[in-house]
Amino acid sequence: MAVEDLLLYFLIVPALAYAGAAFWVRRTMQKIAEHQLGFLREGVNARFLVFSTLFVTPILFGLVVYVTVLPAQVTPVSDPVIRLLGLTYALAAVLTVLSEAWIVVRWKAASYKEMFARVLVLMVIPETAIVWVLTVATMVVGVLHRSTSELPLSQASADRLTLALEFMIAGSFSAPLGAFLSTRQPVLSAQTFRRLLLWEIAATVLAVACLVLAFQQIPRT
């Protein structure tokens, strides 16, 4: 597998997701400012930077996976696994970042004012999707690494790794599901926040179930 392909999956796609999310949130800020005079002078730029920091997480995690997967032995059996690993990570990165941006955009001006802390909490929960994909990716890379004294990756092990990654692809959709559920109230207040938070946490059941199933597929070395 070419190094360029790995860069695409683990760094370029997450970086593009970051740029898209940051542009989406910034554009929403500008639209709010058109209707609320002085909005941009109320410290919202500093809070925008806080939101943007969360968008960076998949890029940093992708760099970690990229560095660890580079030394892996590439064979006709392991190559499809590495490609699927890259695709899984790229998809999870995009879903995570856009889900976080969706929450900020949905709550508009409240995200930068009295509801800032609560919106930040709602944003953190979709982050678990990329964290768990990182966990499984680390385990998959551990299986792919083979010393010269070990046998190459078998087809049976490759099939199990493929299934584990497919489970994590499904689990990644817990991020947009959580974002959807966390925006299902007409307003965000102290009362509705608790309800939205519980709904969003319930969405992580999908990710947890897929994580458990993926763990069961990882071959024990």
Residue type, 67: V
* The predicted structure's pLDDT at residue 153: 87
Q: Give the chain's domain count.
A: 1
HEC string of 94-138 equals HHHHHHHHHHHHHCHHHHHCCCHHHHHHHHHCCHHHHHHHHHHHH
Lowest-pLDDT choice from 5-9, 101-105, 148-152: 148-152
pLDDT exceeds cutoff 90 at 148: no
Look at the pTM and tell me if it is higher than 0.85: yes
DSSP E strand stretches across the chain = none
Farthest-apart Cα atoms in the chain, separation: 69
* The predicted structure's pLDDT at residue 2: 60
Q: State the CATH number of the domain containing residue 105.
A: 1.20.120
Q: How open is the CA angle 71-65-57, to the nearest 5 degrees?
A: 160
Confidence band (pLDDT; 50, 70, 90) for 3? low
Using alpha carbons, select from 220, 217, 221 the residue that is nearest to residue 84.
217
Domain membership of residue 115 as a residue range: 3-217
pLDDT digits (tens, 9 = 90+) for 82-133: 999 999 999 999 999 999 999 999 998 888 988 999 999 999 999 999 999 9
Using alpha carbons, select from 175, 177, 207, 193 the residue that is nearest to residue 55.
175
Which long-range contacts (C-beta less than 8 Å, at least 24 apart) are formed by 47-51? Answer: 47/111, 47/112, 47/116, 48/112, 50/120, 51/25, 51/100, 51/101, 51/104, 51/111, 51/120, 51/123
Torsion of CA 120, 166, 142, 134, to 10 degrees: -10
- What gap in Å lies between CA 178 and CA 92, rounded to an integer? 14
Token pair recorded at residue 124: 């953190």
Q: Is-contact 44 29, C-beta < 8 A?
A: yes
Mean pLDDT across 56-60: 96
